[in-house]
Chains A and B, each alone.
Chain A
Amino acid sequence: MPGDSAARARRLLALLPYLATQGDYPIADVAARAGTDEATLARDLTTLSMCGTDPRDPASMVAVFVENDLVTIFGQLPSLTTPVRLTASEARALAAALEIAGEDASGPLQTRLGAAASEDFDPAELASTVKAAFADGGVASVYGALLDAVTTREVVRIRHTGAGDAGERERLVRPWALAARRGVWYLRGWAEDAGAERTFRLDRISSVEKEGRTFDGSEVPASPDTFEPLSSLSELPRAEIVFAHDAPDLTERDWPAATFQPRPDGSVLASVPYAGTAWIARKVASRLGGAEVVRPAEIRRAVAKMALNLLDGEHVS
């Protein structure tokens, strides 16, 4: 049997419990719950309407039709009205996804959901063979609070440590979205105190408090969760940095939107966009002398200051 038929059958079987109670339901609601799109759901339900225990007995068929964006269930299912347990592979997928969202494998939600899984699923086996994320307890609590605020569009007061900050700062933010990249979660939103779009790493946020007021959802840009730059990088100022000839990791992946120009002596001249001085100063300082900012002067000063602070004892005992 072609694999897509088997996959489709699994999807159809997972839908059956949604058809256990007679009534009319908006197709959008059912699709959202079932994790599918409306067109696929409509096709699947049409197929299910042709299924049953006895093709000669209409009363034994799945009694469903879709019309005018409504799912109408007009009879009882012949069987399979109760959700089936998660298979071992489904439980593995759920556990890995929750771990990426910051839910520890031994946390209460994972434990309860684990009870819904087939007895074939072994969480210990998964933990020892697939590692999709590292769950920091503090991040999990921040994630939950921000998720709630993103959903209810409530302004939050966060305590955040910037990349170049020695200590925390309080920020007022209209939270637009949560987005993860390379295993790191970020909050994207409008920083009221700065009057600008900002991105904050969740693992640099120590607390979240709701301000008790909401913001207008119309101000949220399209797809704030896709991690495309909210501001055009072309609008950002650029720094020119010369890297030594043997410098590692000179890729756009490590220096987003940078351009690199090899020079005759083997060194590389990079043009790097930057939104703030702290990030770029720390990255240049971490090269331990293998990189020099040519311009602008403010970044040269920021790099020197950061290195001096580090020498003064921030990191060197």
Chain B
Amino acid sequence: MTEPAERLVNLALFIAAAAGPVTADECRRRVEGYPESQDEPAFLRMFERDKDQLRAAGLAIEVDGDGYSLDTEATYRRPMTLSGGDAMMLRAVGAAMLGDESFPFREDLRLALAKLMTDAPDAPSPTVGALGADEIPAEQGAAVSQLADAADARKKVSFGYTNARGGTREHEVEPYGLFLRDGRWYLVARDPSVDGIRTYAVARMSSVATNPKAPRTADFDRPGGFEVRAWIALPFQYAASDAPRVLATLRLTGQAVRTVATLTAEQGMFLPAGPGVLTWRIMVTDPVALASWVVANGPGIELTAPPVALEAMRAGLAKVVDIHAG
């Protein structure tokens, strides 16, 4: 008996080899794997599923009346020249991310690299490893994969969520985007029950489920101009929603400038302030946390405002000196 995967490959080879469009009936008669005992409706359902699976593999199957053919222009990738350095980078990316259980798109990455490395120059496999999210990495990777697909398809998702105080309740939300920060994946989604956008730590979710109804129909529209990065918060930006926000100004030099994207999560506004110097302006809800963050992430970060954060830093550092003297 032919395996389903074999039948799919046979169908792909058959349609791709055909000189012109082929009908469903021709496929049934000539492609190995369609059961002879199957009635017509059952065959047609199987054939539809098979075509969907081949399209999901990248084959652009066109329909022309009763005939099916391959759009070769849309199916085959154009020849591309990869340098030895490109090939090594791809091998390194594969070694690192395919070994990282928290990377949500591992199987797709494996297939992407398989397609690209066909005609790439030889390259050794470098010793490279990665672990993006270090809490329950496999569970986070699987959940993010599902949530990203749901966000793409605009399908609602539901999950149990345990908040920082240990309380758990069910949520049904509209997933907009995902980000990875400091070893944790986060979902940004609209919660219709409060009519607001919220950020959820994926590691705190359980029983993630995508709305199974009408899988090809979107459940919601994402607002135009949505940018997931705008929802990333730094440690001094977490506070109650009614907490006052103040503008902080910091001067970045040296290493802090080199790593400004990682350091600041691309939040706030950056202004050139001389060779190798940036002025960073960002809204802050917790000035004491800002002072602590500046010390923890230096050198190369100089706090210039607001005064309340500066005073917190001076007083805090004076206390550090005092309790460690002698």
Contacts and interface: CB of A to CB of B under 8 A. Distances in A.
B57 A13 contact: yes
A285 B320 contact: yes
Contact of B320 (A51, A96, A178, A307): A307
A115 to B, nearest CB: 7
Interface string A49-75: 011111100001010000000000000
A2 to B, nearest CB: 7
Interface stretch (A32-40, A230-238, A259-267): A32-40
Report, as a range, how many residues of chain B touch the other chain: 35 or more
A314 B298 contact: yes
A53 B227 CA distance: 47
Contact of A53 (B14, B124, B151, B254): B14
A179 B317 contact: no
B317 A93 contact: no
A310 B80 contact: no
A10 interface: yes
Nearest to A85: B77
A136 B129 contact: no
Nearest to B296: A286
Contacts of B317: 285, 288, 307, 310-311, 316
Interface string A87-118: 10111111011101101000001001101101
A65 to B, nearest CB: 16
Residues of B contacting A: mostly: helix
Interface in A109-163: 109, 112-113, 115-116, 118-119, 128-136, 138-139, 144, 147-148, 150-151, 161
A35 to B, nearest CB: 5
A203 interface: yes
B324 A300 contact: yes
Interface of B: 2-6, 8-10, 12-14, 16-17, 30, 32, 46, 49-50, 53-54, 56-60, 74-78, 80, 85-86, 88-89, 91-98, 103, 105-120, 124-135, 148-149, 151-152, 176-183, 226-229, 232, 251, 254-255, 258-262, 265-266, 288, 291-296, 298-299, 301-304, 310, 312-325
Interface of A: 1-2, 5-18, 32-36, 47-48, 50-55, 60, 62, 77-80, 82-87, 89-94, 96-98, 100-101, 103, 109, 112-113, 115-116, 118-119, 128-136, 138-139, 144, 147-148, 150-151, 161, 165-166, 176-184, 203-204, 206, 220, 223-227, 253, 282-289, 292-293, 300-301, 303-304, 307-308, 310-311, 314-317
The 5 A-B pairs at the shortest CB distance, nearest first, are namely A288-B316, A225-B129, A289-B319, A182-B183, A93-B105
